[in-house]
Amino acid sequence: MADRVAIVTGGSRGIGRGIAEALGALGWRVVVNYASNSKAAAEVVEGIEKAGGKGLAVQCDIGIAADRDRLVDETIGHFGRVDLLVNNAGVAPSVRADLLEAGEESFDRLIAINLKGPYFLTQRVAKEMVREVNKPKSKRPADLHPAIITISSISAYTASVNRGDYCVAKAGLAMMTKLYAARLAEYGINVYEIRPGVIETDMTGPVKAKYDKMISEGLTPIARWGKPEDIAKAVVAVGMGLLPFSTGEVINVDGGFHLRRL
Ligand code: NAP
């Protein structure tokens, strides 16, 4: 896996950091994208290099087209190609607001970062992957299996009426995964959606007490918080090519939250 190249958006903290570190520990070359926290991104790169991988921190606001292009250009310039794109970067609404009151500003922000960003970053990276796949055999790694993973959420199908903008953006990612899976299969590029449940990160810090209580009262069959490492293990399985005959697949990493129970 040593020459493999991954872009992990939002790799500076939380779930993205867990993914970047897990790939780094396998010797991958990992582009650690971040929005503003350069110190955290530098720490992740340092950890990756200590573990035997190679890291590159790239600032880019995933909601801005020129930034996304720069992210891909820097990746190709530095590492030559992209084997794995992990669309992880995402934000929660600054304020949770009732569906009947919530404003357009928050909606536009969440759609730009959580949906439009990954949608067009995937388009750009997919073209780079297709270019790589179409190279003569002698000019590419023997067992090339490029893949794209999008970290959505249980919010893709769970209605939370105090953050409709977040839910709508995540539901959009579910269709995005199907679309790119259907379009890219002919090139051998598999596309997956990972749906995390309740994961312990900075994002869920403000609602920790609420979820502690819900988990202790039976919210999930596996009665604990998820960890970034739980998501990272699923990403590693895809990155290693262990799901070769599956594409457009949803991988629930949610402690069984999605199960209907009676
Ligand atoms: P987090 O701890 O808040 O970390 C967010 C990461 O995304 C940071 O690395 C941040 O960079 C980056 N980021 C934020 N806005 C960005 C932008 N505009 N452009 C580029 N990078 C940006 O969040 P998390 O909990 O790890 O969540 C990661 C993903 O999992 C999100 O898509 C989230 O919706 C999803 N998810 C989370 C949970 C959960 O329970 N935590 C559950 C389901 C799904 P900086 O460090 O520079 O700010």
Tell me, what's the pLDDT at 156?
98
Question: Ligand 1 in contact with 164 (CB < 6 A)?
Answer: no
Angle separating helix axes 104-111 and 164-184, nearest 10 degrees: 30
Structure tokens at 109: 């922000």
Confidence band, pLDDT 50/70/90 cuts, at residue 1: low
Backbone angles phi, psi at 128, to 5 degrees: -65, -40
Nearest Cα neighbor of 55 from 32, 75, 72, 37 is: 32
201 C-beta closer than 6 A to ligand 1? yes
* pLDDT above 90 for 115: yes
The answer to whether 71 and 121 are in contact (CB under 8 A) is yes
Nearest atom (ligand 1) to Cα of 38: 47
User: pLDDT (tens digit, 9 = 90+) per residue, 188-223?
Assistant: 999 999 999 999 999 999 999 999 999 999 999 999
Strand partners, 250: 193
Order the strands of the 29-34 sheet from edge to edge: 54-59, 29-34, 5-8, 84-87, 147-151, 190-196, 249-253
What is the reported pLDDT for 89? 98
Residue 61 DSSP code: -
| 34 classed as catalytic | no
Residues 35-82 have pLDDT tens digits of 999 999 999 999 999 999 999 999 999 999 999 999 999 999 999 999
Atom from ligand 1 closest to the CA of residue 17: 9
Half-sphere exposure of 253 (CA within 13 A, CB side): 24
- CA–CA distance from 21 to each of 52, 83, 84 (Å)? 11, 16, 14
CB 91 near ligand 1, within 6 Å? yes
Q: What CATH code is assigned to 5-253?
A: 3.40.50.720
